[in-house]
Amino acid sequence: METIFDYEDIQLIPRKCIVQSRSECDTSVTLGSHKFKLPVVPANMQTIIDEEIAYYLAENGYFYIMHRFQPEQRADFIKGMHERGLIASISVGVKEDEYPFIQQLADEELIPEFITIDIAHGHSNAVIQMIQHIKKQLPQTFVIAGNVATPDAVRDLEDAGADATKVGVGPGKVCITKIKTGFGTAGWQLAALKWCAEAASKPIIADGGIRTHGDIAKSIHFGASMIMVGSLFAGHEESPGRTIMQNGKLYKEYFGSASEFQKGEKKNVEGKRMLVEHKGQLQDTLTEMEQDLQSSISYAGGNNLAALREVEHVIVKNSIFNGD
């Protein structure tokens, strides 16, 4: 890889505008055989999404991925979403008991439209075997596999049958993988995304490290089809994290899926907990994201997301501090 950079080091270069209004810019994206309003998905974490939010997002045309931390509720969740005519998008791990669960879904003809294999170190035989198992039992299901950090990993998971791969090891706001292990894409997530996207023949989902709405446009520029976002979705009225009052201010908790708060024990901890200022309604953030992305598209001189791939960029180290 030639150059290392991250989100704050990049600026996209505007091209001549072709729209009369930003409202003409289309932020929709297709993943598999489904079209969504935004190329953004809330992280499949317990303080970011619950069944109610999943239902709201699906009903309103947004992509969602339900987390895997209440495994016994997943079959009923799929049934419930299908009864409402909505897509079912769940997560699985790779431990032994996930194999009969997938078999059960096949036997009961409960076919989720999307399954995400949600593992810290996705470049592994455990993930490859799970992809193959899902593809054998549920061939119509779109399988997202991750997380990975290298072109080799993307190729291996695609070869195993993954329909999309998720890139990002350790760049998340509540991640401590870099500190605990010395590994990951923290600090160079955007360059890792570019590196992986160049090797990919299927969609890439950028995961972690999104701090501003502009980072969504930058992710698309460097090859992402979809962007997974945790911290920017934490702290809303609807967010499942506990609400906490401190010094007269309202906060909500946001913790890592590999934190002791999630695991209930201090074993292989690679995540932490933080408090996020209360932000109001989730829909307000989704609307602002859409408007900002429409604006990005207009600066790119187009009227849809494809324009973001075509612009040029410059690397300006620490440019986030200029003009803010």
Tell me the number of residues near ligand LQESDW3C by CB under 6 A: 24
Cβ within 8 Å of residue 84, ≥6 positions away: 55, 59
Indicate if 175 belongs to the active site.
yes
Is 227 annotated as belonging to a binding site? yes
Q: Is 190 in the site for ligand NDP (CB under 6 A)?
A: no
Among 66, 105, 167, 169, binds ligand NDP (CB under 6 A): 169
Which of ligand LQESDW3C, ligand NDP, none is residue 229 near (CB under 5 to 8 Å by kind)? ligand LQESDW3C
Q: Is 258 in the site for ligand LQESDW3C (CB under 6 A)?
A: yes
Among 8, 253, 270, 290, binds ligand NDP (CB under 6 A): 270
Q: Is 71 in the site for ligand NDP (CB under 6 A)?
A: no
Our CB check for ligand NDP shows the closer of 162 and 307 to be: 162
Q: What is the dihedral of CA 94, 200, 206, 256, to 10 degrees?
A: 20
Contact track, ligand NDP, 240-259, x by CB under 6 A: -----------------xx-
Residues 207 and 147 sit within 8 Å (Cβ to Cβ):
yes
Catalytic residue selected from 17, 25, 175, 196: 175
Cβ within 8 Å of residue 260, ≥6 positions away: 266, 269
Our CB check for ligand NDP shows the closer of 226 and 293 to be: 226
Is 204 annotated as belonging to a binding site? yes
- Rounded Cα distance between 73 and 91, Å, is 12
Task: Count CB atoms within 10 A of the CB of residue 20.
Answer: 8
Q: Helix (H, G, I), strand (E, B), or coil: what is residue 233?
A: helix
Q: Which residue has the tokens 């669960």?
A: 101
Q: What is the dihedral of CA 57, 58, 64, 66, to 10 degrees?
A: 100
Among 131, 175, 232, 274, binds ligand NDP (CB under 6 A): 175
Can you list the alpha helix ranges (DSSP code H) found in the chain?
51-59, 74-83, 98-107, 125-137, 151-160, 177-181, 189-199, 214-221, 260-263, 282-299, 306-310
Our CB check for ligand LQESDW3C shows the closer of 223 and 271 to be: 271
Contact track, ligand LQESDW3C, 45-64, x by CB under 6 A: x-------------------
What single letter denotes the amino acid at residue 265?
A: E
Site for ligand LQESDW3C in 150-169 (CB under 6 A): 168
Residues 231 and 252 sit within 8 Å (Cβ to Cβ):
no
- Rounded Cα distance between 86 and 78, Å, is 9
Residue numbers belonging to the annotated binding site: 204-227
- As annotated, the active-site residues are 175
Binding site for ligand NDP (CB under 6 A): 93-95, 118-121, 126, 147, 168-170, 172, 175, 177, 207-208, 257-258, 268, 270
**What does the binding site for ligand LQESDW3C look like in residue numbers (CB under 6 A)?**
43, 45, 147, 168, 170, 172-175, 177, 207-210, 228-231, 256-259, 270-271
